[in-house]
Chains A and B, each alone.
Chain A
């Protein structure tokens, strides 16, 4: 390849990394945590830690109907019921109701399947923040809302794809680099080798994540634009055109099929029981139940089946539920992105690879900065690169610390449930900002990294104890009750805590003297060690 072309591609690789690498780190790191949404959800809510299996659950149908009657004669735009599962061992009803003023409100209720008691209401918290910050950065409504955030995350997926392509072209000795880790060399060489090794070994995973992530994100941006251009409308109009003929309500009232009977209806292919039922046109002769099953026969989020909500007769899958080749590929995007097709082992592999990806991005940035801070490369002042280095440390380790801090905040929160997520959000940004300020306030970036990592490790190690004390439930008590998710999260937190402390302990506390920068007259004069004067 021509040298100037290779330089251009290398520049594109470097600049995508240095300009958006920190955001990529945040998206990759939060994505690794978001995969364990259900497990963390179970950890955060001790009241919902019920036995995973109940021999004779109470019927849910009368509970659901009573609740719907309580809401009054409102127009419902969405109704669903989740049956108890290992992760969420309770009935979970959800209703979107349109009030007289036209405003849509989201109502939900959970019932204990053993007793039928209503479980205490709990607002969205820790797990939702971790998942949604990855999905759409919790983009504020004042700046365009979550759709914009989701589109931005999609653009970062595009940047990641570009980074992968340019990285493959830049690294010509890719096979050799897979096995090169020179541990006795300088810090920069070690980081560079680790960046290459992590990048090459996680390449197939990175490609899948970048493509599915980009698609899941930019579809939020493309749908409205395509709706405007192709069908001269908006995203809703486009979905309406694509959705095919919809079944409309007849206006004739009819008795609905029992939700307990529906729960015993196995999937025609896999024999799995339904995990949820979505209800349309409730109380009407044309009512539809869309049953959702865990997929065993296809790469899908859920395998759907559609039946009449009155007679139970099987209805054809239409619109986006059809199984055309295109829609099958489309349906595989979310399971591929969230690792939902291979059980816990696959999730753990995804987590490890996600963290590897985050570390690779951070190391790439640090190599770029170090090369400019301690060699002739780079046209900006050493102070500029030093600040960039502090920013990298502060952003990367700040977000780690912030993610851990909200575990504590969520458990300690005692205010109104609707404000829980707001409090978590503010705490998240405050701790993150504190990490950033700490990084900028200290001279020695090596020590800052060690301290922040050690602090994260100790906080992680404290969390299982904190969980046991605040929930009055020891891990073994949860296990005896047949509830494994929360103790598993505790164990993972403990392992990662110990790991973080050990890594922090092994990290250098300063750059070795012989590695420090020699005077670079063309780059701004006097020597500028990483430990700022």
Chain B
């Protein structure tokens, strides 16, 4: 039964992504992309780890709001959504491949 909740959640997100590109982009994918992008930036940016984490963490609300705003700004509803999914995938790959610091 443990697999049921994640499966239903993933199915819901996919359905939501397909049917409501703007809304899913601003509600779901902007958050996923922000979390993964900030994590990846903390790993790849130069300088001491503490400073990287602090500056990226400070920028995270701006990145998140920027992503949500773009979902409503762009004339084509799929473009921001697909870009955010792409950013999330690329950043996820970086986080997966790079070794943890310290």
Write the residues of chain A forming the contact surface with B, with a CB cutoff of 8 angstroms: 2, 4-5, 8-9, 11-12, 154, 157-158, 161-162, 165-166, 211, 214-215, 218-219, 222, 225-226, 229-232, 238, 241-242, 244, 324-327, 329-330
Of A157, A222, A241, the contact of B101 (CB 8 Å cutoff): A241
Assess the B61–A330 pair: CB atoms within 8 A: no
Q: Give 13 CB contacts A-B under 8 Å.
A: A4-B75, A157-B61, A214-B65, A215-B57, A222-B57, A225-B39, A226-B53, A230-B100, A231-B101, A244-B50, A324-B51, A326-B51, A326-B55
In the complex the two chains form, what is the Cα distance from A12 to B22 in whole Å? 11
Is the Cβ of B39 less than 8 Å from the Cβ of A211?
no
A226's nearest neighbour on chain B, judged by CB, is B39
Residue numbers of B with Cβ under 8 A of A are 22, 26, 35-36, 38-39, 42-43, 49-51, 53-55, 57-58, 60-62, 64-65, 68-69, 72-73, 75, 95, 100-102
Residues of B within 8 A of A9 (CB): 72-73
In the bound complex, do residue A230 and residue B65 qualify as a contact, i.e. CB atoms below 8 Å apart?
Answer: no
CB distance from B30 to the nearest CB of A (A): 9
Given known pairs A230-B101, A326-B54, the reply for A158 and B43 (CB within 8 Å) is: no
Q: In the complex, are the beta carbons of A230 and B68 less than 8 A apart? A: no
Find B95's partner among A4, A229, A244 (CB 8 Å cutoff). A229
Q: Report chain B residues within 8 Å CB of A161.
A: 61, 65
In whole angstroms, how far apart are the Cα atoms of A231 and B101 in the complex?
Answer: 6
Q: With A12-B72, A229-B95, A324-B50 given, is the CB distance from A222 to B60 under 8 Å?
A: yes
Closest Cβ of chain A to B21, distance in Å, is: 13
Q: Please, which residues of chain A bring their CB within 8 A of the CB of B49?
A: 241-242
- Interface SS of chain A: helix, strand, loop or mixed? helix
Contact A230–B39 (Cβ < 8 Å): yes
A-chain residues with CB within 8 Å of residue B36 when the two chains form the complex: 229
Q: Do A158 and B69 contact each other (CB < 8 Å), given the known contacts A222-B38, A241-B101? A: no
Chain B minimum-CB-distance residue to A160: B65
Known contacts A162-B65, A241-B102, A244-B50, A230 near B58 by CB under 8 Å: no
Q: Which residue of B lies closest to A328 (CB)?
A: B54
Instruction: Report whether A222 and B35 are in contact in the complex, using a CB–CB cutoff of 8 Å.
Output: yes
Q: Are A158 and B75 in contact (CB under 8 A)?
A: no
Complex-state Cα separation, A121 to B23, whole angstroms: 51
Known A4-B75, A241-B101, A326-B55; judge A230-B69 contact (CB<8 A): no
For B60, the closest partner residue in chain A by CB is A222
B35, A165: Cβ atoms under 8 Å?
no
Whether the Cβ atoms of A330 and B54 lie closer than 8 Å is: yes
CB distance from A300 to the nearest CB of B (A): 15
Which chain B residues lie closer than 8 Å to A166 at the CB level?
A: 69, 72
| Residue numbers in A under 8 Å from B35 (CB-CB) | 222, 225-226, 229
The contact of A232 among B22, B69, B100, by CB within 8 Å, is B100
Q: Which residues of B contact A231 (CB under 8 A)?
A: 100-102
CA distance A49 to B72 in the complex (A): 54
Q: Which residue of A lies closest to B69 (CB)?
A: A165
Which residues from chain A contact B73 at a C-beta distance below 8 Å?
5, 8-9
Q: How far is the CA of A4 from the CA of B76 in the complex (A)?
A: 11
Residue of B nearest to A329 (CB): B58
Nearest-Cβ distance from residue A162 to partner chain B, whole angstroms: 5
Give the docked Cα–Cα distance between A11 and B43 (Å).
Answer: 37
Contacts of B69 in A (CB 8 A): 12, 162, 165-166
Residues of A within 8 A of B72 (CB): 8-9, 11-12, 166
Q: How long is the Cα–Cα vector from A242 to B50 in the complex, in angstroms?
A: 5
Candidate in A5, A158, A324 with the most chain B CB atoms within 10 angstroms = A158
Complex alpha-carbon distance, A154 and B65, angstroms: 12
Contact A215 B58 (CB under 8 A): yes
A222 CB contacts on chain B under 8 angstroms: 35, 38, 57, 60
Q: Which residue of B lies closest to A216 (CB)?
A: B61
State whether A215 touches B61 (Cβ < 8 A): yes
Known A242-B49, A324-B51, A330-B57; further 9 A-B contacts with Cβ < 8 A: A11-B72, A154-B61, A162-B65, A165-B69, A211-B61, A222-B38, A229-B36, A230-B42, A231-B100
A218 partner residues in chain B, CB cutoff 8 A: 60-61, 64
